[in-house]
Protein backbone atom coordinates (compact mmCIF):
# COMPACT_ATOMS: atom_id res chain seq x y z
CA UNK A 1 0.00 0.00 0.00
CA UNK A 2 2.82 2.37 0.88
CA UNK A 3 4.35 1.88 -2.58
CA UNK A 4 1.00 2.55 -4.23
CA UNK A 5 0.54 5.74 -2.25
CA UNK A 6 4.06 6.98 -2.96
CA UNK A 7 3.63 6.29 -6.67
CA UNK A 8 0.40 8.21 -6.65
CA UNK A 9 1.91 11.19 -4.83
CA UNK A 10 4.68 11.33 -7.42
CA UNK A 11 2.16 11.18 -10.28
CA UNK A 12 0.40 14.14 -8.65
CA UNK A 13 3.48 16.25 -9.44
CA UNK A 14 2.21 16.45 -13.03
CA UNK A 15 -0.36 18.93 -11.69
CA UNK A 16 2.44 21.39 -11.10
CA UNK A 17 4.37 20.80 -14.31
CA UNK A 18 3.56 23.23 -17.12
CA UNK A 19 3.99 22.01 -20.69
CA UNK A 20 7.38 23.16 -21.87
CA UNK A 21 6.45 24.13 -25.43
CA UNK A 22 3.87 26.63 -24.24
CA UNK A 23 6.23 28.03 -21.59
CA UNK A 24 8.94 28.65 -24.18
CA UNK A 25 6.43 30.37 -26.39
CA UNK A 26 5.53 32.84 -23.67
CA UNK A 27 2.05 31.64 -22.67
CA UNK A 28 1.28 32.86 -19.14
CA UNK A 29 0.20 30.05 -16.81
CA UNK A 30 0.13 27.45 -19.55
CA UNK A 31 -1.66 24.15 -19.12
CA UNK A 32 -0.04 21.49 -16.97
CA UNK A 33 0.73 17.95 -18.03
CA UNK A 34 -2.13 16.70 -15.85
CA UNK A 35 -4.62 19.06 -17.53
CA UNK A 36 -3.45 17.99 -20.97
CA UNK A 37 -3.65 14.31 -20.07
CA UNK A 38 -7.23 14.66 -18.86
CA UNK A 39 -8.43 15.95 -22.21
CA UNK A 40 -6.24 13.55 -24.19
CA UNK A 41 -7.82 10.60 -22.36
CA UNK A 42 -11.38 11.86 -22.77
CA UNK A 43 -10.88 12.85 -26.39
CA UNK A 44 -9.25 9.58 -27.35
CA UNK A 45 -12.04 7.61 -25.73
CA UNK A 46 -14.89 9.42 -27.46
CA UNK A 47 -13.19 9.43 -30.86
CA UNK A 48 -11.90 5.85 -30.60
CA UNK A 49 -15.50 4.65 -30.23
CA UNK A 50 -15.90 5.30 -33.93
CA UNK A 51 -12.83 3.41 -35.08
CA UNK A 52 -13.38 0.34 -37.21
CA UNK A 53 -12.33 -2.37 -36.72
CA UNK A 54 -12.84 -1.72 -33.05
CA UNK A 55 -10.10 -0.80 -30.64
CA UNK A 56 -10.11 -1.57 -26.93
CA UNK A 57 -11.43 1.54 -25.21
CA UNK A 58 -10.09 0.74 -21.77
CA UNK A 59 -6.66 0.29 -23.33
CA UNK A 60 -6.99 3.59 -25.18
CA UNK A 61 -7.82 5.36 -21.92
CA UNK A 62 -5.06 3.61 -19.98
CA UNK A 63 -2.42 4.41 -22.60
CA UNK A 64 -3.62 8.03 -22.66
CA UNK A 65 -3.30 8.27 -18.87
CA UNK A 66 0.18 6.78 -18.93
CA UNK A 67 1.62 8.50 -22.01
CA UNK A 68 3.26 11.39 -20.13
CA UNK A 69 3.98 9.72 -16.77
CA UNK A 70 7.67 9.53 -17.60
CA UNK A 71 7.75 13.34 -17.44
CA UNK A 72 7.53 13.23 -13.63
CA UNK A 73 11.33 12.78 -13.64
CA UNK A 74 12.42 13.25 -17.26
CA UNK A 75 10.61 16.56 -17.67
CA UNK A 76 8.66 17.48 -20.79
CA UNK A 77 11.13 16.71 -23.59
CA UNK A 78 9.76 18.40 -26.67
CA UNK A 79 11.14 17.62 -30.15
CA UNK A 80 13.28 20.77 -29.81
CA UNK A 81 15.23 19.59 -26.75
CA UNK A 82 18.89 20.48 -26.86
CA UNK A 83 18.54 22.47 -30.06
CA UNK A 84 17.07 25.80 -29.00
CA UNK A 85 19.29 28.89 -29.13
CA UNK A 86 19.68 30.97 -25.94
CA UNK A 87 18.59 34.16 -27.65
CA UNK A 88 14.87 34.56 -26.92
CA UNK A 89 13.98 36.01 -30.30
CA UNK A 90 15.81 33.33 -32.24
CA UNK A 91 14.32 30.69 -30.00
CA UNK A 92 10.83 31.94 -30.68
CA UNK A 93 11.45 31.96 -34.41
CA UNK A 94 12.69 28.39 -34.30
CA UNK A 95 9.69 27.26 -32.28
CA UNK A 96 7.29 28.67 -34.81
CA UNK A 97 7.95 25.86 -37.22
CA UNK A 98 8.00 22.10 -36.82
CA UNK A 99 11.57 20.97 -36.54
CA UNK A 100 12.99 19.24 -39.61
CA UNK A 101 16.05 17.04 -39.20
CA UNK A 102 17.90 14.43 -41.26
CA UNK A 103 16.64 10.91 -40.61
CA UNK A 104 19.83 9.67 -38.96
CA UNK A 105 19.69 12.62 -36.52
CA UNK A 106 16.03 11.91 -35.82
CA UNK A 107 16.80 8.27 -35.03
CA UNK A 108 19.68 9.18 -32.74
CA UNK A 109 17.66 11.78 -30.85
CA UNK A 110 14.68 9.48 -30.59
CA UNK A 111 16.86 6.78 -29.02
CA UNK A 112 18.27 9.20 -26.47
CA UNK A 113 14.85 10.57 -25.57
CA UNK A 114 13.41 7.08 -25.34
CA UNK A 115 16.21 5.93 -23.04
CA UNK A 116 15.86 8.90 -20.71
CA UNK A 117 12.08 8.65 -20.54
CA UNK A 118 12.08 4.89 -20.05
CA UNK A 119 14.52 5.23 -17.17
CA UNK A 120 12.33 7.91 -15.67
CA UNK A 121 9.20 5.80 -15.95
CA UNK A 122 11.03 2.83 -14.51
CA UNK A 123 12.11 4.92 -11.53
CA UNK A 124 8.50 5.97 -10.99
CA UNK A 125 7.02 2.47 -11.08
CA UNK A 126 9.87 0.36 -9.74
CA UNK A 127 8.28 -0.33 -6.37
CA UNK A 128 4.85 -1.29 -7.68
CA UNK A 129 3.72 -4.91 -7.84
CA UNK A 130 5.13 -6.75 -10.90
CA UNK A 131 1.76 -7.10 -12.66
CA UNK A 132 0.89 -3.43 -12.40
CA UNK A 133 4.43 -2.35 -13.22
CA UNK A 134 4.36 -4.46 -16.37
CA UNK A 135 0.96 -3.13 -17.37
CA UNK A 136 2.02 0.52 -17.05
CA UNK A 137 5.30 -0.06 -18.87
CA UNK A 138 3.56 -1.94 -21.68
CA UNK A 139 0.99 0.83 -22.11
CA UNK A 140 3.76 3.39 -22.37
CA UNK A 141 5.77 1.24 -24.79
CA UNK A 142 2.75 0.74 -27.02
CA UNK A 143 2.37 4.52 -27.22
CA UNK A 144 6.05 5.27 -27.59
CA UNK A 145 6.82 2.52 -30.06
CA UNK A 146 3.45 2.71 -31.84
CA UNK A 147 3.29 -1.04 -31.41
CA UNK A 148 -0.49 -1.51 -31.12
CA UNK A 149 -3.49 0.05 -32.81
CA UNK A 150 -4.43 1.63 -29.49
CA UNK A 151 -0.92 3.01 -29.02
CA UNK A 152 -0.95 4.52 -32.51
CA UNK A 153 -4.35 6.07 -31.94
CA UNK A 154 -3.30 7.65 -28.63
CA UNK A 155 -0.08 9.03 -30.11
CA UNK A 156 -2.04 10.78 -32.85
CA UNK A 157 -4.75 11.96 -30.45
CA UNK A 158 -2.09 13.37 -28.13
CA UNK A 159 -0.75 15.60 -30.91
CA UNK A 160 -4.23 16.72 -31.93
CA UNK A 161 -5.08 17.72 -28.37
CA UNK A 162 -1.92 19.83 -28.25
CA UNK A 163 -2.83 21.45 -31.55
CA UNK A 164 -6.31 22.17 -30.22
CA UNK A 165 -4.83 23.79 -27.12
CA UNK A 166 -2.45 25.86 -29.27
CA UNK A 167 -5.42 27.06 -31.32
CA UNK A 168 -7.22 27.95 -28.11
CA UNK A 169 -4.19 30.05 -27.09
CA UNK A 170 -3.41 31.75 -30.37
CA UNK A 171 -6.51 31.35 -32.52
CA UNK A 172 -6.26 31.25 -36.28
CA UNK A 173 -4.13 34.36 -36.75
CA UNK A 174 -1.32 34.06 -39.26
CA UNK A 175 2.31 33.97 -38.16
CA UNK A 176 1.74 32.29 -34.80
CA UNK A 177 3.46 29.14 -33.50
CA UNK A 178 0.30 27.12 -34.28
CA UNK A 179 1.76 26.40 -37.70
CA UNK A 180 4.40 24.18 -36.07
CA UNK A 181 1.73 21.91 -34.62
CA UNK A 182 -0.15 21.76 -37.92
CA UNK A 183 3.05 20.62 -39.55
CA UNK A 184 3.56 18.02 -36.86
CA UNK A 185 0.09 16.52 -37.18
CA UNK A 186 0.38 16.64 -40.96
CA UNK A 187 3.32 14.26 -40.70
CA UNK A 188 1.73 11.92 -38.23
CA UNK A 189 -2.04 11.55 -38.52
CA UNK A 190 -3.33 8.71 -40.67
CA UNK A 191 -6.33 7.43 -38.77
CA UNK A 192 -9.46 8.32 -40.82
CA UNK A 193 -11.49 9.26 -37.72
CA UNK A 194 -8.75 11.63 -36.56
CA UNK A 195 -8.28 13.06 -40.05
CA UNK A 196 -12.01 13.82 -40.12
CA UNK A 197 -11.74 15.39 -36.67
CA UNK A 198 -8.80 17.54 -37.78
CA UNK A 199 -10.91 18.77 -40.68
CA UNK A 200 -13.58 19.84 -38.21
CA UNK A 201 -10.97 21.71 -36.17
CA UNK A 202 -9.77 23.45 -39.30
CA UNK A 203 -13.30 24.34 -40.41
CA UNK A 204 -14.14 25.77 -37.03
CA UNK A 205 -10.99 27.82 -36.40
CA UNK A 206 -10.20 28.94 -39.94
CA UNK A 207 -13.46 28.86 -41.87
CA UNK A 208 -15.54 29.89 -38.88
CA UNK A 209 -18.01 27.07 -39.44
CA UNK A 210 -20.41 26.24 -36.65
CA UNK A 211 -18.88 23.93 -34.10
CA UNK A 212 -20.76 20.79 -33.14
CA UNK A 213 -20.47 17.17 -32.07
CA UNK A 214 -17.38 15.91 -30.31
CA UNK A 215 -15.37 19.05 -31.04
CA UNK A 216 -17.86 21.29 -29.29
CA UNK A 217 -17.86 18.94 -26.30
CA UNK A 218 -14.06 18.89 -26.12
CA UNK A 219 -13.81 22.66 -26.38
CA UNK A 220 -16.19 22.93 -23.43
CA UNK A 221 -14.08 20.41 -21.51
CA UNK A 222 -11.06 22.63 -22.08
CA UNK A 223 -12.62 25.12 -19.64
CA UNK A 224 -12.00 22.62 -16.83
CA UNK A 225 -8.27 23.03 -17.33
CA UNK A 226 -8.38 26.48 -15.81
CA UNK A 227 -11.35 26.07 -13.49
CA UNK A 228 -10.08 25.84 -9.90
CA UNK A 229 -11.84 23.50 -7.51
CA UNK A 230 -14.13 25.57 -5.32
CA UNK A 231 -13.17 23.64 -2.17
CA UNK A 232 -9.64 24.99 -2.44
CA UNK A 233 -10.54 28.44 -3.73
CA UNK A 234 -12.82 29.18 -0.74
CA UNK A 235 -9.95 28.20 1.54
CA UNK A 236 -7.66 30.71 -0.15
CA UNK A 237 -5.25 28.11 -1.53
CA UNK A 238 -2.78 29.77 -3.92
CA UNK A 239 -2.78 28.29 -7.45
CA UNK A 240 -5.32 25.66 -6.49
CA UNK A 241 -5.75 22.37 -8.27
CA UNK A 242 -8.10 22.61 -11.24
CA UNK A 243 -10.98 20.30 -12.05
CA UNK A 244 -9.17 18.83 -15.07
CA UNK A 245 -6.17 18.00 -12.89
CA UNK A 246 -8.35 16.39 -10.27
CA UNK A 247 -10.17 14.36 -12.92
CA UNK A 248 -6.87 13.10 -14.31
CA UNK A 249 -5.80 11.93 -10.87
CA UNK A 250 -9.22 10.42 -10.22
CA UNK A 251 -8.99 8.32 -13.40
CA UNK A 252 -5.45 7.29 -12.59
CA UNK A 253 -6.35 6.38 -8.99
CA UNK A 254 -9.52 4.53 -9.95
CA UNK A 255 -7.52 2.35 -12.31
CA UNK A 256 -4.57 1.74 -10.00
CA UNK A 257 -6.59 1.21 -6.81
CA UNK A 258 -9.07 -1.13 -8.49
CA UNK A 259 -6.39 -3.79 -9.02
CA UNK A 260 -7.71 -7.15 -7.94
CA UNK A 261 -11.33 -5.98 -7.69
CA UNK A 262 -14.12 -7.47 -9.74
CA UNK A 263 -15.07 -4.26 -11.51
CA UNK A 264 -15.65 -3.35 -15.14
CA UNK A 265 -12.46 -1.36 -15.70
CA UNK A 266 -13.62 0.35 -18.87
CA UNK A 267 -16.63 1.64 -17.00
CA UNK A 268 -14.52 2.70 -14.02
CA UNK A 269 -12.19 4.71 -16.26
CA UNK A 270 -14.94 6.39 -18.25
CA UNK A 271 -16.87 7.18 -15.09
CA UNK A 272 -13.83 8.85 -13.54
CA UNK A 273 -13.28 10.99 -16.60
CA UNK A 274 -16.85 12.26 -16.76
CA UNK A 275 -17.66 12.52 -13.08
CA UNK A 276 -16.76 16.19 -12.79
CA UNK A 277 -17.43 17.51 -16.28
CA UNK A 278 -20.82 18.93 -15.27
CA UNK A 279 -18.85 21.62 -13.41
CA UNK A 280 -18.40 23.43 -16.73
CA UNK A 281 -21.92 24.72 -16.18
CA UNK A 282 -23.03 23.58 -12.72
CA UNK A 283 -20.14 25.14 -10.80
CA UNK A 284 -18.34 23.14 -8.18
CA UNK A 285 -20.88 23.05 -5.34
CA UNK A 286 -19.73 22.59 -1.75
CA UNK A 287 -21.82 21.99 1.37
CA UNK A 288 -20.63 25.36 2.62
CA UNK A 289 -22.27 27.48 -0.09
CA UNK A 290 -25.07 28.78 2.15
CA UNK A 291 -22.77 29.53 5.09
CA UNK A 292 -20.27 31.39 2.99
CA UNK A 293 -22.85 34.02 2.25
CA UNK A 294 -23.56 34.44 5.95
CA UNK A 295 -20.15 35.95 6.72
CA UNK A 296 -18.95 33.32 9.21
CA UNK A 297 -16.63 31.86 6.63
CA UNK A 298 -13.49 31.12 8.58
CA UNK A 299 -15.18 29.43 11.52
CA UNK A 300 -17.52 27.38 9.35
CA UNK A 301 -14.78 26.02 7.15
CA UNK A 302 -12.94 24.52 10.10
CA UNK A 303 -15.39 21.68 10.56
CA UNK A 304 -17.53 19.47 8.36
CA UNK A 305 -21.03 21.02 8.26
CA UNK A 306 -23.74 18.89 9.86
CA UNK A 307 -27.34 18.56 8.72
CA UNK A 308 -30.42 16.51 9.49
CA UNK A 309 -31.40 13.78 7.00
CA UNK A 310 -34.14 15.83 5.34
CA UNK A 311 -31.80 18.72 4.72
CA UNK A 312 -29.13 16.36 3.39
CA UNK A 313 -31.70 14.87 1.02
CA UNK A 314 -32.82 18.31 -0.13
CA UNK A 315 -29.27 19.42 -0.79
CA UNK A 316 -28.34 16.22 -2.58
CA UNK A 317 -31.37 16.38 -4.87
CA UNK A 318 -30.77 20.03 -5.66
CA UNK A 319 -27.16 19.31 -6.46
CA UNK A 320 -28.10 16.24 -8.53
CA UNK A 321 -30.65 18.11 -10.60
CA UNK A 322 -28.26 20.98 -11.20
CA UNK A 323 -25.51 18.57 -12.23
CA UNK A 324 -27.78 16.63 -14.55
CA UNK A 325 -29.05 19.77 -16.26
CA UNK A 326 -25.46 20.90 -16.76
CA UNK A 327 -24.50 17.51 -18.18
CA UNK A 328 -27.42 17.56 -20.59
CA UNK A 329 -26.24 20.94 -21.79
CA UNK A 330 -22.61 19.96 -22.23
CA UNK A 331 -23.45 16.69 -24.01
CA UNK A 332 -26.21 18.22 -26.12
CA UNK A 333 -24.45 17.83 -29.43
CA UNK A 334 -22.91 14.43 -28.84
CA UNK A 335 -24.29 11.30 -30.52
CA UNK A 336 -27.34 10.14 -28.56
CA UNK A 337 -25.81 6.84 -27.40
CA UNK A 338 -22.69 8.62 -26.06
CA UNK A 339 -24.76 11.29 -24.37
CA UNK A 340 -26.87 8.61 -22.71
CA UNK A 341 -23.78 6.70 -21.65
CA UNK A 342 -22.12 9.75 -20.08
CA UNK A 343 -25.22 10.76 -18.14
CA UNK A 344 -25.75 7.19 -16.90
CA UNK A 345 -22.12 6.87 -15.81
CA UNK A 346 -22.32 10.13 -13.88
CA UNK A 347 -25.62 9.20 -12.27
CA UNK A 348 -24.38 5.74 -11.23
CA UNK A 349 -21.42 7.35 -9.53
CA UNK A 350 -23.28 10.24 -7.95
CA UNK A 351 -25.97 7.93 -6.54
CA UNK A 352 -23.53 5.09 -5.82
CA UNK A 353 -25.88 2.82 -7.74
CA UNK A 354 -23.49 0.13 -9.02
CA UNK A 355 -20.24 -1.42 -7.77
CA UNK A 356 -18.28 0.81 -10.16
CA UNK A 357 -20.27 3.87 -9.04
CA UNK A 358 -19.69 3.11 -5.37
CA UNK A 359 -16.00 2.59 -5.95
CA UNK A 360 -15.31 5.68 -8.08
CA UNK A 361 -17.37 7.86 -5.75
CA UNK A 362 -15.15 6.84 -2.83
CA UNK A 363 -11.95 7.22 -4.86
CA UNK A 364 -13.12 10.73 -5.72
CA UNK A 365 -13.22 11.60 -2.02
CA UNK A 366 -9.94 9.85 -1.29
CA UNK A 367 -8.11 11.77 -4.02
CA UNK A 368 -9.63 15.00 -2.73
CA UNK A 369 -8.50 14.12 0.79
CA UNK A 370 -4.96 13.45 -0.41
CA UNK A 371 -4.82 16.93 -1.95
CA UNK A 372 -6.22 18.42 1.26
CA UNK A 373 -3.53 16.63 3.28
CA UNK A 374 -0.86 17.97 0.95
CA UNK A 375 -2.17 21.51 1.40
CA UNK A 376 -2.15 20.93 5.14
CA UNK A 377 1.45 19.74 4.99
CA UNK A 378 2.42 23.04 3.38
CA UNK A 379 0.25 25.26 5.53
CA UNK A 380 -0.76 24.05 8.97
CA UNK A 381 -3.58 26.58 9.04
CA UNK A 382 -5.39 24.66 6.30
CA UNK A 383 -8.64 23.35 7.93
CA UNK A 384 -7.87 19.65 7.58
CA UNK A 385 -10.26 18.63 10.36
CA UNK A 386 -13.30 19.11 8.11
CA UNK A 387 -11.92 16.62 5.59
CA UNK A 388 -10.74 14.27 8.27
CA UNK A 389 -14.22 14.05 9.75
CA UNK A 390 -15.96 13.69 6.43
CA UNK A 391 -13.76 10.85 5.17
CA UNK A 392 -14.72 8.68 8.10
CA UNK A 393 -18.30 8.74 6.86
CA UNK A 394 -17.66 8.64 3.12
CA UNK A 395 -15.10 5.86 2.75
CA UNK A 396 -15.87 2.25 3.56
CA UNK A 397 -14.07 0.17 0.93
CA UNK A 398 -11.39 -1.83 2.82
CA UNK A 399 -8.61 -1.12 0.30
CA UNK A 400 -9.41 2.58 0.16
CA UNK A 401 -9.58 2.72 3.96
CA UNK A 402 -6.14 1.17 4.17
CA UNK A 403 -4.84 3.79 1.77
CA UNK A 404 -6.52 6.47 3.83
CA UNK A 405 -4.81 5.28 7.02
CA UNK A 406 -1.52 5.30 5.09
CA UNK A 407 -2.12 8.86 3.93
CA UNK A 408 -2.87 10.04 7.45
CA UNK A 409 0.21 8.31 8.81
CA UNK A 410 2.31 10.12 6.25
CA UNK A 411 0.78 13.59 6.49
CA UNK A 412 -0.79 14.00 9.93
CA UNK A 413 1.26 14.28 13.05
CA UNK A 414 -0.16 12.87 16.28
CA UNK A 415 -0.80 16.30 17.73
CA UNK A 416 -3.50 18.04 15.78
Partner 1 sequence: MAEKKFYLTEQGLEKIKKEYQDHKSLKLTKTKGEIPKIWHSEDINPEYLSFREDLSFLETRIAELENILKNVELIKPPQKEKRGIVNLGAKVLVGVDGQTDEFEIVGSLEANPSLGKISNESPVGNALLGHRAGEEVVVSSPIKTVYKIKKIRYQNI
The footprint of partner 1 (CB under 8 A) covers 52-54, 264, 303, 305-309, 312-313, 315-316, 319, 337, 351-352, 354-355, 358, 385, 388-390, 392-398, 401, 408, 412-416
- The nearer residue to partner 1, 53 or 102, going by C-beta atoms, is 53
- The nearer residue to partner 1, 325 or 409, going by C-beta atoms, is 409
Q: How far is the CB of 365 from partner 1 (least distance, A)?
A: 9
- The nearer residue to partner 1, 39 or 149, going by C-beta atoms, is 149
- The nearer residue to partner 1, 153 or 388, going by C-beta atoms, is 388
**Rounded alpha-carbon distances, angstroms, from residue 255 to 59, 91, 209, 251, 396:** 11, 40, 38, 6, 18
Q: How far is the CB of 190 from partner 1 (least distance, A)?
A: 19
Sign of CA dihedral 172, 176, 181, 183: positive
* Residues in the chain, overall count: 416
For 391, list phi and psi in degrees, rounded to 5: -60, -30
Q: How large is the C-alpha radius of gyration of the chain?
A: 22
**Rounded alpha-carbon distances, angstroms, from residue 291 to 127, 234, 284, 323, 392:** 45, 12, 15, 21, 23
- Answer yes or no: are the C-beta atoms of 416 and 385 closer than 8 Å: yes
Q: How far is the CB of 316 from partner 1 (least distance, A)?
A: 5
Q: How far is the CB of 279 from partner 1 (least distance, A)?
A: 16
Q: How far is the CB of 261 from partner 1 (least distance, A)?
A: 12
Give the helix/strand (H/E) hosting 241: none
Q: How far is the CB of 122 from partner 1 (least distance, A)?
A: 35
As to burial, measured by CB atoms within 10 angstroms (0-12 exposed, 13-18 middle, 19+ buried), residue 187 is: exposed
Task: Work out the number of other CB atoms within 10 angstroms of the CB of residue 306.
Answer: 9
Instruction: Give dist(CA 19, CA 78) in Å, integer.
Output: 9
Q: How far is the CB of 388 from partner 1 (least distance, A)?
A: 5
- The nearer residue to partner 1, 119 or 313, going by C-beta atoms, is 313
Task: Work out the number of other CB atoms within 10 angstroms of the CB of residue 202.
Answer: 15
Sign of CA dihedral 134, 138, 139, 144: positive
- The nearer residue to partner 1, 199 or 392, going by C-beta atoms, is 392
- The nearer residue to partner 1, 190 or 393, going by C-beta atoms, is 393
Selection from 112, 14, 15, 133 nearest residue 70 by Cα: 14
**Rounded alpha-carbon distances, angstroms, from residue 124 to 7, 132, 402:** 7, 12, 22
Q: How far is the CB of 342 from partner 1 (least distance, A)?
A: 14
Cα atoms in the 13 Å half-sphere on the side-chain side of 80: 20
- The nearer residue to partner 1, 279 or 397, going by C-beta atoms, is 397
Q: How far is the CB of 48 from partner 1 (least distance, A)?
A: 13
- The nearer residue to partner 1, 174 or 309, going by C-beta atoms, is 309
Residue-wise burial string across 321-340, b where 16 or more C-beta atoms lie within 10 A, e elsewhere: eebbebbeebbebbeeebbe
Q: How far is the CB of 46 from partner 1 (least distance, A)?
A: 15
- The nearer residue to partner 1, 140 or 275, going by C-beta atoms, is 275
For 382, list phi and psi in degrees, rounded to 5: -60, 130
Task: Please calculate the CA angle 211-216-221 and round it to the nearest 5 degrees.
Answer: 155
Q: How far is the CB of 400 from partner 1 (least distance, A)?
A: 10
- The nearer residue to partner 1, 275 or 388, going by C-beta atoms, is 388
- Answer yes or no: are the C-beta atoms of 219 and 160 closer than 8 Å: no
Amino acid sequence: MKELLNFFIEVGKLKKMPRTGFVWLGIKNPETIAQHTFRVATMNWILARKVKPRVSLDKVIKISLVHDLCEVYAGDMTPYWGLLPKDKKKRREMLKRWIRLPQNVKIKRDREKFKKEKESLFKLIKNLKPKLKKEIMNCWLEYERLSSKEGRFVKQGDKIETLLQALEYWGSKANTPVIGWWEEVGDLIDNPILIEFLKKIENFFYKKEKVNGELKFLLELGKLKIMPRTSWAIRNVKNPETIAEHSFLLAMASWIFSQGKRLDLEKVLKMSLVYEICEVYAEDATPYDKFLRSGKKKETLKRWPRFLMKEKERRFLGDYKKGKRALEKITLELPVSLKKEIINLWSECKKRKTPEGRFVNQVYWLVTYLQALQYFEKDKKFPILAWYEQMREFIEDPILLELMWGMEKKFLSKRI
